[in-house]
């Protein structure tokens, strides 16, 4: 019920923004900027890039509000879609790998050195095993490992980004690595 009220309020604000109402745009920004920033952060790990993408998102909302159609999309879905596309555009400009795809590692398959079909199959199996191992980790362990190894975050940077004590972050990384070693050892017949 509360969500419906919020969504109805968003639609009304966007409809007012269509007419060039500055106060409606200011209100829309204050009500949605945190969710838009989170949508950008899901794609862009670097806080400064995510914040830039958020600002760009709201610029697009202002200039393209006339394209919003409440019969085709909810207000929050429309905003999140713009945010995600804006963040992905920023990734392309920066030539970065999306955070959400880093654990997937499917892009790695494009860069495999082919030394024959057997080698390629073995490499794909290893990638698949790592991908599955990462997917079985807890959220905090998985996120910590991804940021540390795919984005070269230091433990201190991780603690700041995740707003957790340094010792906790180190424990997540240690537990995650231990679990991955066990999973990968079991796949390859090692204890």
CATH number of the CATH domain containing 85? 1.10.1740.10
- Average of per-residue pLDDT across 9-14: 92
Where does a domain end: 65, 94, 123? Answer: 94
CB atoms within 10 A of CB 130: 17
The answer for residues whose C-beta is within 8 angstroms of residue 151's C-beta and 6 or more apart is 45, 99, 102
The confidence band for 30, taking pLDDT boundaries of 50, 70 and 90, is: very high
Separation of alpha carbons 93 and 3, rounded Å:
35
Q: Which residue range is the domain that position 181 belongs to?
A: 105-187
Separation of alpha carbons 84 and 36, rounded Å:
9
Percent with pLDDT over 90 in the chain: 36
Same domain, 123 and 181: yes
Same domain, 85 and 112: no
Task: Extract the tokens encoding 87.
Answer: 């963040």
Same domain, 112 and 89: no
- Average of per-residue pLDDT across 128-148: 84
pLDDT at 13 > cutoff 50: yes
In terms of pLDDT, which residue wins out, 120 or 35? 35
pLDDT at 7 > cutoff 70: yes
The confidence band for 66, taking pLDDT boundaries of 50, 70 and 90, is: very high
Same domain, 136 and 87: no
pLDDT at 98 > cutoff 90: no
Separation of alpha carbons 150 and 55, rounded Å:
26
Separation of alpha carbons 98 and 92, rounded Å:
9
Q: What is the CATH number of the domain that holds 120?
A: 1.10.10.10
Are residues 173 and 162 in contact, defined by beta-carbon separation less than 8 angstroms?
no
Same domain, 81 and 122: no
Tell whether 33 is covered by a domain: yes
Q: For the chain, what is the domain count?
A: 2
7-11, 119-123, 160-164, 187-191: range with lowest mean pLDDT: 187-191
Tell whether 100 is covered by a domain: no
Tell whether 179 is covered by a domain: yes
Same domain, 67 and 126: no
Where does a domain end: 70, 94, 118? Answer: 94
């Amino acid at each position: 019920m509360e969500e419906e009220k919020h969504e109805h309020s968003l639609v009304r604000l966007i409809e007012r923004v269509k007419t060039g109402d500055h106060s409606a745009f200011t209100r829309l920004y204050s009500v949605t900027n945190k969710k838009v920033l989170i949508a950008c952060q899901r794609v862009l790990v670097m806080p400064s890039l995510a914040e830039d993408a958020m600002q760009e998102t709201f610029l697009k909302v202002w200039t393209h509000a006339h394209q919003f159609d409440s019969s085709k999309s909810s207000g929050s879905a429309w905003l999140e879609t713009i945010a995600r596309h804006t963040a992905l555009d920023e990734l392309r400009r920066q030539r970065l790998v999306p955070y959400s795809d880093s654990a997937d590692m499917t892009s790695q398959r494009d860069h495999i050195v082919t030394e024959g079909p057997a080698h390629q199959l073995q490499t794909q199996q290893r990638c698949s095993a790592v991908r599955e191992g990462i997917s079985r980790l807890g959220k905090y362990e998985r996120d910590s490992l991804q940021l540390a190894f795919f984005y070269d975050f230091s433990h201190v940077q991780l603690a700041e980004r995740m707003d957790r004590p340094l010792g906790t972050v180190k424990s997540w990384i240690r537990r995650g690595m231990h679990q991955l070693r066990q999973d990968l050892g079991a796949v390859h017949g090692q204890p």
